[in-house]
Structure 1
Amino acid sequence: MYVDFQNFIIKEQAEEVAKILNDNDINVIVKEVKPNVDITFSNTHSLNYWIRIPKGQVKLAESILNKGTNSIKVPEGHYFLEFTDDELTEVVKNYYDWNKTDYQYARILLDERGIKYSEEKIAEFKNASLEELRAPENGKSSWIIAGFITAFMGGLLGVIMGWNYWTEIKTLPNGEKVHRFNAPTRQKGKLMMIIGLVVIVLAITGRILTL
Structure 2
Amino acid sequence: MEQDDFAIFRKFTNLDHAHDIHDLLTSNGINTVIGDNSSSLDNSFGGNHAQDELEIRIDVSDFERAEAILAEHARKSLDDVPKDYYLFRFTDEELYDVLVKQDEWSEFDYLLSQKILEDRGKPVHDELLLRLRKERIEHLAKPDKDQNGWIVAGYIFAVLGGFLGLIIGYFLWTSRKTLPNGVKVYSYSEGNRKHGKNIFLLSLVFVPLSFILRAFNVF
Range into which the TM-score falls when normalised by the shorter chain = 0.7 to 0.9
Query: Which structure ranks higher in relative contact order (CA pairs < 8 Å, sequence separation ≥ 6)?
Result: 1
Distance 1:3 1:150, change over 3 A: closer
Deviations 1:107-164 (A, max 9, x none): 1211111113111211111121122222221332122212211222222111210111
Which of 136, 143, 149 is matched with 1:129 structurally?
136
Match of 1:37 in 2: 40
Percent sequence identity over matched residues?
25
- Equivalent residues of 1:110, 1:116 under 8 A apart: yes
Amino acid at match of 2:56: W
Matches within 5 A, 1:137-148: 137-148=144-155
Tell me by how many angstroms 1:206 deviates: 3.2
Q: Distance in 2 between matches of 1:64 and 1:203?
A: 53
TM-score, normalization: structure 1? 0.79
RMSD across aligned C-alpha pairs, in angstroms?
A: 3.3
Distance 1:151 1:83, change over 3 A: same
Deviations 1:5-51 (A, max 9, x none): 8414135445555677788xx52333202215217522246562426
Match of 1:179 in 2: 186
Q: Distance in 2 between matches of 1:81 and 1:31?
A: 34
Structure 2's unaligned 5+ residue stretches are: none
Q: Distance in 1 between matches of 2:60 and 2:214?
A: 55
Which of 102, 106, 113 is matched with 2:109 structurally?
102
- Equivalent residues of 1:30, 1:49 under 8 A apart: no
SS at match of 1:116: coil
Per mean C-alpha deviation after superposition, the further-off stretch among 8-17 and 177-186 is: 8-17
Deviations 1:67-103 (A, max 9, x none): 9547504323222222111111111111112121211
Which of 198, 208, 211 is matched with 1:201 structurally?
208
Per mean C-alpha deviation after superposition, the further-off stretch among 27-36 and 10-19 is: 10-19
Distance 1:128 1:51, change over 3 A: same
Q: Distance in 2 between matches of 1:53 and 1:161?
A: 28
Which of 8, 27, 30 is matched with 1:28 structurally?
30
Q: Distance in 2 between matches of 1:116 and 1:17?
A: 30
Q: Distance in 2 between matches of 1:207 and 1:120?
A: 65
Match of 1:112 in 2: 119
Q: Distance in 2 between matches of 1:51 and 1:142?
A: 30
Tell me by how many angstroms 1:66 deviates: 6.5
Q: Distance in 2 between matches of 1:67 and 1:110?
A: 20
- Equivalent residues of 2:60, 2:182 under 8 A apart: no
TM-score, normalization: structure 2? 0.77
Amino acid at match of 2:40: V
Q: Distance in 2 between matches of 1:27 and 1:131?
A: 30
Per mean C-alpha deviation after superposition, the further-off stretch among 70-79 and 121-130 is: 70-79
> Aligned residue pairs: how many?
209
Q: Distance in 2 between matches of 1:14 and 1:184?
A: 36
Distance 1:46 1:182, change over 3 A: farther
